[in-house]
Structure 1
């Protein structure tokens, strides 16, 4: 759906001035270069002069290739390339040792075009490979010991290797809608790994149509729950139960009457 949105866009030529004006400050003080949704078809080489940014967002464009010069972004910890037309990733991506987040969802990646060098990203904690054309998962991804979340949904997978399923810090594995021989068992396994939920704050305008509708539906459900008036709690009554204070009060009244007798 995101790809359809970019098809109708006219490509915008990215100049260094435009790139500089597209830098945003993150919550933690880092710098994000946001060039998403600009109809870009080729990697803008001018941004290599801004290679000291912490985050790079090239999502929702029409990129078919990421050049080896991506290795110049050595400070990069967050790279978003989702919803493009990428058919492969460069081997040089393995040099981005500070990278903790990589999203290449909704592209045209195959198992053969995933470089082995992905396994060199030792600090990677979130990897999204969903909505691609993967026939299998490289066992080398088992080297990503810091990985906490991995998206493998909507591919052509028939098995997930144990080296990935048994990663020590893995909390969430989404492998839904793959042609597993025993899809129920595989999806149950994926659900069992989903131990915790992570909250990601994004702007509403950055969501695709399907994600936005899902969020709006959840919001409507919450609003309905808030509008339900709870029934008043029934006050419990114990008529035969005497409290210590009530007994003491009766005793005091009895002694007062006795003291006032003639």
Structure 2
């Protein structure tokens, strides 16, 4: 490097200690151990959590992670891994060693076709895979081996076609391909598959510029329709209702309990 030239600055992020990680341990409704490090400003995978690699669930969502190390393979008991809303540009091939994994959420990252390893197809027990809000132009054919896959999120990518092998996945029930440059006509091969919407609440700072613009345009249209509707009739008010966020965590834990057991 030339003299006087500065190295590019990198986001340092928050440093996680083993004590902090232990304090973030939670117990699920079915008695499983969950390590929740979501939304903590982590920019580098904390090595200290390798000492807690016997957990059943790992949540590293809503952080600043750019990559996951090969050592992720040491979490052999994982059944649930949430990495959504980071800045992931690649995944290690060793992720294919997580043979107990039932749910993998990779949505809202920077993954491309070349950075999605074919070893994901080795996750034989995988039931839910979310790849939405990435930069995928195609899918690795190795995913055709996911015979237990039931939910697949591919929304808001750069897919121009849906691969034929999706039709052959025996348990696939829910597929979301919205927001891709696919042909306008609906392919006949997708008729048996239910198209669904997925909702993830993230901070605006976690979204790219195009997503923010898309959100603002939709919000303006929605506000216009709501305003017009309110002028026509009086809005009914309900009292004594529980706020949705007050039971969201419990419902999510119950869903995983009934889903994977």
Q: Deviation at 1:192?
A: 4.7
Q: Deviation at 1:197?
A: 9.7
Corresponding residue of 2:201: 207
Are 1:89 and 2:111 an aligned pair?
no
Q: How does 1:94-173 map to 2 (within 5 A)?
A: 94-173=96-175
Out of 59, 62, 74, the position equivalent to 2:61 is: 59
Q: How has the CA–CA distance of structure 1 residues 146 and 48 changed in structure 2, closer, same or farther, with 3 Å as cutoff? A: same
Q: How has the CA–CA distance of structure 1 residues 123 and 226 changed in structure 2, closer, same or farther, with 3 Å as cutoff? A: farther
Q: How has the CA–CA distance of structure 1 residues 196 and 152 changed in structure 2, closer, same or farther, with 3 Å as cutoff? A: closer
Corresponding residue of 1:5: none
Output the CA distance in 2 between the equivalents of 1:65 and 1:32.
21
Work out whether residues 39 and 62 of structure 1, in 8 Å CA contact, stay in contact via their aligned partners in 2.
yes
Moved over 6 A (4+): 195-198, 224-227
Q: Deviation at 1:11?
A: 2.9
Corresponding residue of 1:71: 73
Q: How has the CA–CA distance of structure 1 residues 44 and 209 changed in structure 2, closer, same or farther, with 3 Å as cutoff? A: closer
Corresponding residue of 1:194: 194
Corresponding residue of 1:33: 35
Work out whether residues 174 and 196 of structure 2, in 8 Å CA contact, stay in contact via their aligned partners in 1.
yes
Corresponding residue of 1:184: 185
2:186 is paired with a residue whose SS is helix
Q: Deviation at 1:27?
A: 1.2
TM-score, normalised relative to structure 2: 0.71
Output the CA distance in 1 between the equivalents of 2:236 and 2:73.
49
TM-score, normalised relative to structure 1: 0.70
Q: Deviation at 1:207?
A: 3.2
User: Highest CA radius of gyration, 1 or 2?
Assistant: 1
Aligned CA-pair RMSD: 3.0
Output the CA distance in 2 between the equivalents of 1:196 and 1:110.
23
Output the CA distance in 2 between the equivalents of 1:195 and 1:42.
35
Out of 5, 12, 26, the position equivalent to 2:14 is: 12
Q: Runs of 5+ in structure 1 lacking a partner?
A: 1-8, 201-205, 228-262
Q: Deviation at 1:13?
A: 1.3
Output the CA distance in 2 between the equivalents of 1:106 and 1:196.
17
Corresponding residue of 2:252: none
Work out whether residues 150 and 173 of structure 2, in 8 Å CA contact, stay in contact via their aligned partners in 1.
yes
Q: How has the CA–CA distance of structure 1 residues 31 and 155 changed in structure 2, closer, same or farther, with 3 Å as cutoff? A: same
